[in-house]
Amino acid sequence: MAYSNSEQVFMDVLGRLPAEEEWKEIRSLLGILQRAGFSVDDPSNAPHVTLFAWGWARSTPRADVLAAVKAAVMELGTAGTPSTDLTPVLSAVQDLQIAAARTVTVKVDEGVVSEAVARALREPISLASMAILGVVIAVAFFVGTWWGNRQLTPTVQMQQQMIQKLTAPDHASRSGK
């Protein structure tokens, strides 16, 4: 069975699947929220639904829950009209400009810097040694391949000559007579 977002919120707050009587109360509360102007399944209203679910799950009296619904509706009604007073924003920007214009003195601990540099150099050195080791392994592989090929070449040539002698046409005609 698929549950709506708001029903899922109630189940999450309870930590279990509600009983049938609890479902009736939950649906009643969700109906009250919808009549109050909430879109209970809208994800942006999930914090409000969670608040009501938490209050309901903790046995908060119904009157308190309804008062919280009414307060949230009032909050939503006033939140829709943005304020056009920009003086707080301008004063904050001016404070930031003043703070950015100040000179800052910094004391550096040379011991910490030298330790950080040494630590930073250890990693690239170990990476470089790993790269060198990889190159050495690759060179050893190719040298070994070349040396093995050099040693096998005379043997392979002798075997090819023997195969050519055995399959030569004049030798085949002698064996056929």
9 and 64 assigned to the same domain: yes
21 and 68 assigned to the same domain: yes
Query: Looking at the predicted structure, is the pLDDT value of residue 81 above 60?
Result: no
74 and 140 assigned to the same domain: no
Number of domains in the chain: 2
pLDDT digits (tens, 9 = 90+) for 82-130: 556 777 777 877 877 787 778 777 787 888 888 888 887 777 777 778 8
Confirm whether 100 is domain-assigned.
no
Question: What's the longest Cα–Cα distance across the chain?
Answer: 120
Confirm whether 109 is domain-assigned.
no
Helix 20-35 and helix 46-57, axial crossing angle in degrees, nearest 10 = 140
Q: What is the pLDDT of residue 143?
A: 93
Confirm whether 50 is domain-assigned.
yes
| Lowest mean per-residue pLDDT among 12-16, 136-140, 167-171 | 167-171
Domain that holds residue 151: 117-172
Confirm whether 144 is domain-assigned.
yes
pTM: 0.34
pLDDT digits (tens, 9 = 90+) for 7-21: 888 888 888 888 888
pLDDT digits (tens, 9 = 90+) for 39-50: 888 888 788 788
CB contact at 8 A, 6 and 49: yes
Q: What is the pLDDT of residue 107?
A: 81
For the chain, the average pLDDT equals 79
* 154 alpha carbon, distance to own chain's centre: 60
Confirm whether 29 is domain-assigned.
yes
Query: Looking at the predicted structure, is the pLDDT value of residue 25 above 90?
Result: no
Residue predicted with more confidence, 111 or 63: 111
CA-based angle 168:172:177, to the nearest 5? 155
Pair of tokens at residue 39 = 């879109």
Q: What is the pLDDT of residue 140?
A: 94
Q: What is the pLDDT of residue 126?
A: 75
Confirm whether 59 is domain-assigned.
yes
